[in-house]
Amino acid sequence: MAIRHYWPTAAAAVGFRLVLVLFGGDLHLASRPEVSTPLTSLRRLAEGYWLKQASMSPYSGSMYHGSPLLLSVLGPLTNSRPDGHHAHVYCSLIFVAVDFLAAMLIRATGQKLQTARNRSLKSLDLTKALSNTVNISAGDVASLIYLWNPWAIVTCVGSCTSPIENLMVVIMIYGACSRLAPLAAFGYAMATHLSLYPAILIVPVILLLGYGPDAPPPKVFLLKGSSASKSDVPDNDKTIRLRGVQQFSWKPVLHFIFWLFIWTCYVLLLSSVVLNKVGGFHDMFEKTYGFILTVKDLSPNIGVLWYFFAEVFDFFRSFFLIVFNMNIIFMVLPLAIRLKHRPCFLAFVYTAIVAILKSYPSVSYSLFALYLGLLGLFANELAEMQFTFFLFFGYIGVSLLSPVMHNLWIWRGTGNANFYFATGLAYTCLQTVLIVESVSSMIKHDRKLRLLVTS
């Protein structure tokens, strides 16, 4: 069931962004630690571009830690006026267009998933059994959630480069869901180039390319096939139902690997051209990936690593760096084994885990922006998810308390670091509850399908 007045609602979201960009004045959002990080700050990008124009390495000092390609795309816009007002407007307009494109790709991904869901339910003869349940256009819901998300709007208006990274992640998921290997490879190569953490999404991308979009577990189709073989069902219907058991195809995966190699070489070539005579790959990898993994900048953010590494003894720092960085990798295999039949949902789970454990988190890559939109893709399957009331108002509370606690600590001097860290800790706990409940609800949904088939 499609959402009525979808396009006016989407246009209103884009118009609201444009009004804030053109007439909102200087809202000082770029300086907020929840919005901008050392990796996504436009001010740091302007500093890196100035160093490059002065025939120096953009990675000199400790300011710029982003991609050299962003210097070529956004760098010239930062020199429009000394006060940076025009740079802010021009870059924000680009980010508005990027956000809209990401929302449209999320909508297209939802339509692909909806088609696959309806086809699976039809092959299982469960269309009538689930007719009374929620059946809305998940793509429309997800795209509107992304467009009207307050923190997505704040990130777009705040002029940080996170929307570009989000777009690349969405391109990768859409390309994999559509089995367009060149497009998926482009999104993956660019996403991992802009930030290291999307590298773990290689698992759901391969599963999407090999198996196709999300579907019920293979056991459900096998149960339906066994029950059909015992009954008087025509052979043609038996064949159609058995085809519901998705077989892994290596051809699109190998196609993806080939194009990934091509795009990676192309990205590195462009980077070498940008850094010609002012730097090299060693500086780039050390100041980007190395900066992410070693957590050298301990300025406050909405995560918990800055506080932990500010308090930990230097003797134990290397040990805990390994622990926190490997913690993400340890979760990849168990989740992939359990949710291999839901690769797109697995991509959402991985994105949520990264939002919790990444070294420099922001609201753009956390639940408030990117993966809340991805969560909307499964509105039908997660309709019975618990604690939604608690999570909704919990996130509202954290969103309101975070700037207040930061102001009390930094500007008024009536608080301390524990005040702000407490909001980040609460935010992390809420994200953990959301991940656990969403995975549990998806497993319950698959169990419900299996019970309907056996009954």
How many C-beta neighbours within 10 Å does residue 193 have? 24
Q: How far apart are CA 420 and CA 426, in angstroms?
A: 10
Q: Residue 82's pLDDT is what?
A: 46
Name residue 160's beta-bridge partners.
41
The interaxial angle of helices 162-177 and 202-211, nearest 10 deg, is: 30
Of the candidates 18, 13, 17, which has an alpha carbon nearest to the alpha carbon of residue 140?
13
Q: How far apart are CA 65 and CA 58, in angstroms?
A: 9
| Alpha-carbon dihedral 57, 63, 66, 69, rounded to 10 degrees | -40
Mean pLDDT of the chain: 86
pLDDT at 449 over 90: no
SS (HEC) of 292-322? HHHCCCCCCCCCCHHHHHHHCCHHHHHHHHH
- More confident site: 153 or 365: 153
Contact 181, 172 (CB under 8 A): no
Per-residue pLDDT reduced to its tens digit, 366-416: 546 788 889 999 988 888 898 889 999 998 999 889 889 988 998 888 878
Residue 246 dihedral angles phi and psi, to the nearest 5°: -75, 130
Q: Residue 384's pLDDT is what?
A: 85
pLDDT at 9 over 70: yes
Q: How far apart are CA 431 and CA 226, in angstroms?
A: 40
In Å, what is the CA distance from 45 to each residue of 51, 59, 189? 10, 10, 21
The reply to whether 275 falls in a domain is yes
pLDDT at 159 over 90: no
- More confident site: 118 or 254: 254
Per-residue pLDDT reduced to its tens digit, 160-177: 888 999 999 999 999 999
% pLDDT > 90, the chain:
45
Per-residue pLDDT reduced to its tens digit, 17-61: 999 888 866 677 777 888 888 898 888 998 999 998 888 889 987
The reply to whether 95 falls in a domain is yes
The reply to whether 1 falls in a domain is no
pLDDT at 129 over 80: no
Specify the pTM.
0.92
Q: What is the DSSP string of 192-243?
A: HHH-SGGGGGHHHHHHHHHH-S----HHHHHHHHHHHHHTT--HHHHHHHHT
pLDDT at 351 over 90: yes
Q: Residue 132's pLDDT is what?
A: 61
pLDDT at 243 over 90: no
Q: How far apart are CA 44 and CA 53, in angstroms?
A: 14
Q: Alpha helices, DSSP H only, in 150-180?
A: 150-157, 162-177
pLDDT at 361 over 50: yes
Q: Residue 133's pLDDT is what?
A: 66
Q: Residue 367's pLDDT is what?
A: 47
Residue 330 is part of which domain span? 6-454
pLDDT at 87 over 90: no
| Residue found under tokens 């962003």 | 70
The reply to whether 120 falls in a domain is yes
Q: What is the DSSP string of 73-132?
A: HHGGGGGS-TT-HHHHHHHHHHHHHHHHHHHHHHHHHHHHHHHHHHHHHHHTT-TTTTTT
Domain count, the chain: 1
pLDDT at 446 over 50: yes
When pLDDT is averaged across residues 304-322 and rounded to a whole number, the result is: 91
Q: Is 146 exposed, middle or buried (0-12, 13-18, 19+ CB in 10 A)?
A: buried
Q: Could you tell me the pLDDT band of residue 230, with boundaries at 50, 70 and 90?
A: low
The reply to whether 274 falls in a domain is yes
The reply to whether 192 falls in a domain is yes
Q: Residue 368's pLDDT is what?
A: 65
pLDDT at 233 over 70: no
